[in-house]
């Protein structure tokens, strides 16, 4: 039984990681046509360093993701605290409305955003992408921070107040330190949601200014080069590091 | 230090009336117990005084100042929570220092005052400990030190001892009383434990269903409870119903009994309460006309508890409990007919 389940687990991992592993290995292969045996080389990374379009797109991706993370992190944390602390008319409805955007296909959300941004005059570009990404990331942040708040004892805030802390000091010294692991996990989520986003970015990009996923797609359409393997490998390593970070903070959050 | 005055205060949660027209005075330097079952409004009253909630009607003053609309952080009220509510991200020192830090007290003075407070609760030397490394009793002492280090005008304690085991609780009761006397602060605490209320309080307020049933010194409430609820919630009591007949009360299922309490007009229905330890059980049938009240009963069970005995008796259709000292005499056997007697002074006329 133990052997069978180990084999099964192994197959799942192979299924999940084989394409990625091949891509990563081929990014170090000198041959453009996946020729074997592998001749190790960093030539595609060198080419990448000279590909200004991909580098610009990468910088745009990071810029948009960082701004999205800050805005969605602050707004989402504040919203989660408000949901936790206050009861008001329509609260349940509002909370219920947080989930559907996660389920609606991005293609539809993207189309809707494109039309809406045109109609309102917001238009396309990095600013529109930030708006779109914030809207996508916000529910994740509220849910993750809200989950952490479930373990929060409201008496902690009451105690701080009775000791003379004003509302800002209560949040600064008591609520936020408790929430920190949740907020950091939520921020990493928001960053990942933005950085990995293709569909909505594709819709909202203006020609010449795009993000990494959009640029990768565009260059593949023009003809594949192993440079894509190289940039993808870099992105994968970065994303993995981020995810390990999230899971670490989550465990940290659950222990206390 | 200050007196607290609550006048005609009501508080609604939706349609639930948590407090209904409650008025009570807490004198400067007194130790007050608010006693009641859960849902009686005692914790709500405490939270209104602390400023976590505002009353829907009525006035609250602390040291003569109107505070009912003043937020908690501006009331100078120290509160110890049932859960202790210690800040998990801070060590013992930072927890106790919190109230001084947010007030901008200079760090030298903070060190001195936190040291004094920890000395007072006998926790000196544990400044660097994390709160989760402390025992229940230590956590409570930190919570207490944190509440008093700001030198509040009033100290509020929400079920201060309920989270401790029994052995620790008795020690903490003495400790709390000592600390309160040492700093002389007006203290109001909430409890559902009658013994705790009796041992700690200078005065007790008994609450039920959002109303203040009775307020007074522990002994006065115990000796002269005003209602059947107060009689049974604070201590044990046997209740009987009867009708006023001249200067006596004829019990529904027994003889007339006398009381020292003033009686309403003849024919009025009344309820009386008699404390189990004021009754005496003796073998034989009741005799009328003695100085003591006497009723007949049958012994169901005599429960031996070392220094005392509890008789479970049946009088008519009603069960009666009697506590007797263990004098060395043989307890009356179960099944035997007995007479139960008590002094007229121990017949308490109560509101049903």
| Residue A4, in any domain of the structure | no
Please say which residue of B194, B225, B256 terminates a domain. Answer: B225
Tell whether A42 is covered by a domain: no
CA distances from B257 to A120, B93, B319, B337, B351 (A): 89, 62, 18, 19, 17
Does any domain span residue B231? no
Contact A153 B83 (CB under 8 A): yes
Instruction: Looking at the structure, tell me whether residues B191 and B318 fall in a common domain.
Output: no
Q: Give the pLDDT confidence of A17-29 residue by residue, as tens digits.
A: 888 888 888 778 7
Minimal Cβ distance to B85: which of A156, A166, A173: A156
C-alpha distance from B86 to closest chain A C-alpha (Å): 7
Q: Which CATH number does the domain housing residue A176 bear?
A: 1.10.3720.10
Cα separation, A224 vs B94, in Å, equals 60
Q: Domain count for chain A, please give it.
A: 1
What is the tens place of the pLDDT at every residue in B172-193?
888 888 888 888 899 999 998 8
Residue B56 placed within a domain: yes
Measure the CA–CA gap between B108 and B126, rounded to whole angstroms: 18
Of the three residues B225, B247, B275, the one that is the final residue of a domain is: B225
- How many Å apart are CA B116 and CA B86, to the nearest integer? 19
Query: Higher confidence at residue A74 or residue A238?
Result: A74
pLDDT score, position A253: 45
| Final residue before a domain boundary, out of B178, B202, B225 | B225
Per-residue pLDDT, B177: 87
- What per-residue string of b and e applies to B210-223 under the rule 16 or more CB within 10 Å gives b? bebbbbbebeebbe
For residue B279, tell me if it sits in a domain.
yes
Closest CA to B102 of A210, A168, A74: A168
Contact flag B102-A155 (C-beta cutoff 8 Å)? no
- The answer to whether residues B131 and B19 belong to one domain is yes
Report the distance separating Cα B28 and Cα B2, nearest Å: 5
- B169 assigned to some structural domain: yes
Are residues B191 and B247 located together in one domain of the fold?
Answer: no
Contact indicator for B147, A161 with CB cutoff of 8 Å: no
- Closest by CA position to B339, among listed B297, B300, B307: B297
Asked whether residue A252 carries a pLDDT value surpassing 70, the answer given is no
- Are residues A161 and B77, on separate chains, in Cβ contact within 8 Å? no
Question: Mean pLDDT throughout A169-177?
Answer: 91
Predicted pLDDT of residue A255? 43
* DSSP SS3 for B78: strand
Q: Is residue B143 part of a domain?
A: yes
Q: What domain range is B53 assigned to?
A: 4-225
From the list B275, B248, B256, B263, the residue with the least C-alpha distance to B349 is B263
DSSP assignment letter at A123? -
CB atoms < 10 A from the CB of B305, how many? Answer: 9
Residues 84-113 of A with CB under 8 A from B: none
Distance CA A29, CA B71 (A): 69
For chain B, list residues with pLDDT below 50. Answer: none
A160 → closest Cβ in B76, B78, B98: B98
Report residue A135 as tokens. Answer: 């809207």
Total tally of structural domains belonging to chain B: 2
The rounded distance, in Å, linking the Cα atoms of B170 and B159 is 14
> Could you report the per-residue pLDDT of B268-316, keeping only the tens digit for each?
899 999 999 999 988 877 666 677 888 888 999 889 888 888 999 998 8
Going by pLDDT thresholds of 50, 70 and 90, the confidence category of residue A256 is: very low
> Is residue A252 less than 8 Å (CB to CB) from chain B?
no
C-alpha to C-alpha distance for B27 and B203, rounded to whole angstroms: 10
Q: How far apart are CA B73 and CA A164, in angstroms?
A: 4
The residue assigned the tokens 């000292």 is: B325
| Confidence band of A100 (pLDDT split at 50, 70, 90) | confident
Task: Judge contact between B19 and B10, C-beta under 8 A.
Answer: yes
A175 lies in some domain: yes
Query: Exposed, middle or buried by CB within 10 Å (0-12, 13-18, 19+), for B250?
Result: middle
DSSP state of B330: P
Are B290 and B188 part of one and the same domain? no
What percent of chain A shows pLDDT beyond 70? 96
Higher pLDDT, A194 or B2: A194
- Residue B329 sits at φ, ψ, to 5 deg, of -70, 150
- Let me know if residue A190 belongs to a domain: yes
Q: Cis bond leading into B287, ω under 30°?
A: no
| pLDDT of res. B288 | 65
* pLDDT band, residue A254 (cuts 50/70/90): very low
Has residue B294 been placed in a domain?
yes
Structure tokens at B41: 């409004």
Confidence of residue A251 (pLDDT cuts 50, 70, 90): low
* For B143, nearest residue in chain A (alpha carbons): A159
A162, B87: Cβ pair inside 8 Å?
no
A164 contact residues in B (CB cutoff 8 A): 73-74, 76, 99, 102-103, 150
Q: How far, in Å, CA of A56 to CA of B206, rounded?
A: 74
* Chain B residue nearest residue A176, CA to CA: B89
Q: Write out chain B residues lying below 8 Å of A173, CB-based.
A: 87, 98, 102
What ipTM score was computed for the predicted complex, to two decimals? 0.81
pLDDT of amino acid B289: 66
Query: Quick check: A32 contacting B, CB < 8 Å?
Result: no
Q: Average pLDDT for residues A92-120, to the nearest whole number?
A: 85
Rounded to an integer, what is the distance from CA B111 to the centroid of its chain?
A: 36
- Chain A nearest-CA residue for B73: A164
Query: In which domain, by residue range, is A74 found?
Result: 56-250
Which of the residues A161, A162, A171, A181 would you substitute to probe the B interface, choosing the one with the greatest number of B C-beta atoms within 10 Å?
Answer: A162
The pLDDT, as a whole number, for residue A1 is: 62
Does one domain contain both B74 and B114? Answer: yes
pLDDT, mean of residues A243-250:
72
Q: For testing the chain B interface, which of A159, A166, A252 should be mutated: the one with the most B CBs within 10 Å?
A: A159
> In terms of domains, do B58 and B107 share one?
yes
Domain annotation covers residue B241: yes
CATH number at residue B125: 3.40.50.300
């Amino acid at each position: 039984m133990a052997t069978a389940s180990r084999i099964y687990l192994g197959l799942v991992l192979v299924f999940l990681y084989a394409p990625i592993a091949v891509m990563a290995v081929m990014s170090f292969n000198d041959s453009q046509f996946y020729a074997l045996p592998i001749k190790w080389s960093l030539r595609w990374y060198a080419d990448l360093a000279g590909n200004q379009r991909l580098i610009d797109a990468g910088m745009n991706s990071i810029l948009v993701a960082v701004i999205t993370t800050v805005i969605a992190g602050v707004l989402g944390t504040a919203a989660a605290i408000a949901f936790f602390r206050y009861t008001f008319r329509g609260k349940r409805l509002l909370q219920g409305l947080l989930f559907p955007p996660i389920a609606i296909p991005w293609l539809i959300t993207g189309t809707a955003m494109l039309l809406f941004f045109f109609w309102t005059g917001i238009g396309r570009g990095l600013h529109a992408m930030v708006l779109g990404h914030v809207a996508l990331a916000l529910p994740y942040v509220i849910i993750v921070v809200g989950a952490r708040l479930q373990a929060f004892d409201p008496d902690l805030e009451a105690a701080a107040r009775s000791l003379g802390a004003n509302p800002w000091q209560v949040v600064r010294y008591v609520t936020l330190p408790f929430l920190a692991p949740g907020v950091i996990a939520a921020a990493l989520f928001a960053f990942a949601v933005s950085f990995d986003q293709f569909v909505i970015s594709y819709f909202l990009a203006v020609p010449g200014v795009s993000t990494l996923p959009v640029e990768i797609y565009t260059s593949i359409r023009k003809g594949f080069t192993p440079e894509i393997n190289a940039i993808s490998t870099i992105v994968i390593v970065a994303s993995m590091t981020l995810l390990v970070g999230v899971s670490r903070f989550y465990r940290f959050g659950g222990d206390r | 230090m200050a007196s607290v005055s609550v006048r005609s205060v009501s508080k609604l949660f939706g349609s639930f009336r948590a407090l209904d027209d409650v008025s009570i005075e807490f004198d400067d330097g007194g130790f007050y117990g608010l006693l009641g079952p859960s849902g009686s409004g005692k914790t709500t009253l405490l939270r209104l005084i602390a400023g976590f909630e505002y009353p829907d009607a009525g006035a609250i003053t602390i040291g003569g100042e109107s505070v009912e609309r003043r937020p908690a952080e501006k009331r100078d009220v120290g509160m110890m929570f049932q859960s202790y509510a210690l800040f998990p991200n801070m060590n013992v020192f930072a927890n106790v220092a919190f109230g001084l830090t947010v007030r901008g007290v200079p760090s030298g003075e903070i060190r001195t005052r936190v040291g004094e407070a920890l000395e007072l609760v006998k926790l000196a030397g544990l400044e660097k400990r994390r709160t989760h490394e402390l025992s229940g009793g230590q956590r409570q002492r930190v919570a207490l030190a944190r509440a008093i280090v700001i030198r509040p005008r009033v100290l509020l304690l929400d079920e201060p001892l309920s989270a401790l085991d029994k052995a620790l609780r008795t020690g903490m009761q003495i400790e709390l009383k000592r600390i309160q006397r040492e700093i002389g602060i007006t203290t109001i605490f909430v409890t559902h434990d009658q013994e705790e209320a009796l041992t700690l309080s200078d005065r007790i307020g008994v609450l039920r269903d959002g109303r203040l049933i009775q307020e007074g010194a522990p002994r006065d409430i115990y000796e002269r409870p005003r209602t059947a609820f107060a009689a049974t919630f604070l201590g044990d009591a046997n209740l009987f119903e009867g009708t006023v007949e001249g200067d006596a009360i004829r019990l529904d299922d027994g003889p007339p009994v006398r009381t020292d309490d003033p009686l309403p007009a003849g024919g009025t229905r009344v309820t009386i309460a008699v404390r189990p330890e004021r009754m005496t059980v003796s073998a034989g049938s009741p005799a009328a006309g003695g100085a003591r009240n006497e009723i007949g009963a049958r012994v169901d069970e005599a429960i031996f508890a070392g220094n005392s005995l509890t008789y479970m008796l049946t009088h008519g259709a009603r069960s009666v409990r009697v506590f007797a000292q263990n004098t060395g005499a043989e307890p009356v056997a179960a099944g035997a007919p007995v007479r139960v007697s008590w002094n007229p002074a121990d017949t308490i006329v109560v509101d049903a």
